[in-house]
C-alpha cells in the first residue's frame, strides 16, 4: 500500500513541477489511447469558469468537473480530496461566496505549492490548502457540507478507508459528489500489479457494483453512479471509464435508526 502511495506521490510531484514551469501535463497515463491525450484535461469546464479564477484547463488532472454535481450554495463548506493544482477548490470558493469556505487536501508538497500560487493569482481568500492524505483528512468530524474529488479516489489502495473518512468529515445530510474512474470490465491481474498503471488512474479502478458497496459500507445513501465516457486502453486487457458519483450522508435521525 505504501509503495502505491509513494509512486502516486512521485508522479504527481513531477507533474506539479511541469505545471510550475508552464509545461503541459497530461492527466492520463501512457497506457491510454487517443481518448486520453492532450486536450482531455480541463474537459467539462466552461471558459467563463476558468477565467473567473484565472486558471488554464491544464490545471485539471481530473476526469470531469465535480463542481457541476455538487449544487454548491452560498455559505457552505466544501472539501476537495486530492486537490492538486487547486482548480476545483477555487471554483468552489467562488460559488459558496465569502460566507462559505473551500478546503483542499493533498499529500504532495509540490502540488500544494502550485495550488497556493494559483490562489494568490486568483485573489480568492475563502480557500485553504491543507497537507494530508485522503485517508486521513486534517479536519474535524462533521465539519463539511459537500465533499468533492476529481479522479483521485481510484488512486487509493484502500477505497473503504477513503470513503469512511469522507463520511466522517461530512455533516448529516452532507453531499458526496465526485468524478472518478471505474472499471467496466476487470483488468487482468498482472495489470492490477503495475505501479505505473496505478499512478495513471487505471489499475486502481473498481467496478460500479464494488464502488456502490464501498459507499454503502461507509454509511452513504442515495448512491448514484453515472458513466460519462469510456477510456480506451493500449496494451491493457480490460475496460475503464470516467464516471460521476453522487451520494449522501444520512441525517442524524436516519443514522440513529441504522
Query: Phi then psi for 153, rounded to 5 degrees?
Result: -60, -30
Number of domains in the chain: 1
pLDDT at site 48: 80
Could you count the other beta carbons within 10 Å of the beta carbon of residue 182? 21
Residues in Cβ contact with 256 at an 8 Å cutoff, skipping those fewer than 6 apart: none
Q: pTM of the prediction?
A: 0.88
Provide the domain limits for residue 202. 2-257
- Write out the three cell numbers for 188: 487482468
Give 41-49's long-range contacts (Cβ < 8 A, gap of 24+). Answer: 44/68, 44/179, 45/87, 45/91, 49/91
We report the CATH number of the domain holding residue 66 as 3.40.50.150
Q: What is the pLDDT along the chain (258 residues), one digit of tens a residue?
A: 588 898 888 888 888 888 877 654 444 444 444 444 333 445 677 778 777 887 766 666 778 889 888 899 999 999 999 999 999 999 999 999 999 999 999 999 999 999 999 999 999 999 999 999 999 999 999 999 999 999 999 999 999 999 999 999 999 999 999 999 999 999 989 999 898 898 899 989 999 999 999 999 999 999 999 999 999 888 898 999 999 999 999 997 555 555
- Write out the three cell numbers for 219: 454509511
Amino acid at each position: 500500500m505504501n509503495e502505491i502511495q509513494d509512486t502516486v506521490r512521485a508522479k504527481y510531484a513531477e507533474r506539479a513541477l511541469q505545471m510550475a514551469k508552464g509545461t503541459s501535463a497530461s492527466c492520463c497515463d501512457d497506457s491510454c489511447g487517443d481518448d486520453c491525450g492532450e486536450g482531455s484535461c480541463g474537459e467539462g469546464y466552461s471558459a467563463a469558469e476558468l477565467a473567473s479564477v484565472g486558471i488554464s484547463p491544464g490545471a485539471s488532472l481530473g476526469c470531469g468537473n465535480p463542481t457541476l454535481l455538487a449544487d454548491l450554495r452560498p455559505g457552505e463548506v466544501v472539501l476537495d480530496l486530492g486537490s492538486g493544482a487547486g482548480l476545483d477548490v477555487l471554483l468552489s470558493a467562488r460559488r459558496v461566496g465569502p460566507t462559505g469556505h473551500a478546503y483542499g487536501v493533498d499529500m504532495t508538497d509540490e502540488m500544494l505549492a502550485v495550488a497556493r500560487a494559483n490562489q494568490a493569482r486568483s485573489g480568492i481568500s475563502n480557500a485553504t490548502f491543507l497537507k494530508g492524505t485522503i485517508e486521513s483528512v486534517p479536519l474535524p468530524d462533521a465539519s463539511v457540507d459537500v465533499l468533492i474529488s476529481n479522479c483521485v479516489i481510484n488512486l487509493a489502495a484502500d477505497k473503504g478507508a477513503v470513503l469512511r473518512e469522507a463520511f466522517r468529515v461530512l455533516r448529516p445530510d452532507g453531499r458526496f459528489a465526485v468524478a472518478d474512474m471505474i472499471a467496466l470490465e476487470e483488468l487482468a491481474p498482472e495489470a492490477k500489479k503495475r505501479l505505473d498503471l496505478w499512478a495513471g488512474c487505471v489499475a486502481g479502478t473498481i467496478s460500479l457494483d464494488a464502488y456502490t458497496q464501498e459507499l454503502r459500507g461507509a454509511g452513504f445513501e442515495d448512491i448514484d453512479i453515472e458513466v460519462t465516457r469510456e477510456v480506451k486502453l493500449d496494451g491493457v486487457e480490460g475496460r475503464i471509464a470516467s464516471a460521476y458519483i453522487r451520494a449522501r450522508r444520512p441525517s442524524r435521525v436516519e443514522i440513529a435508526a441504522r
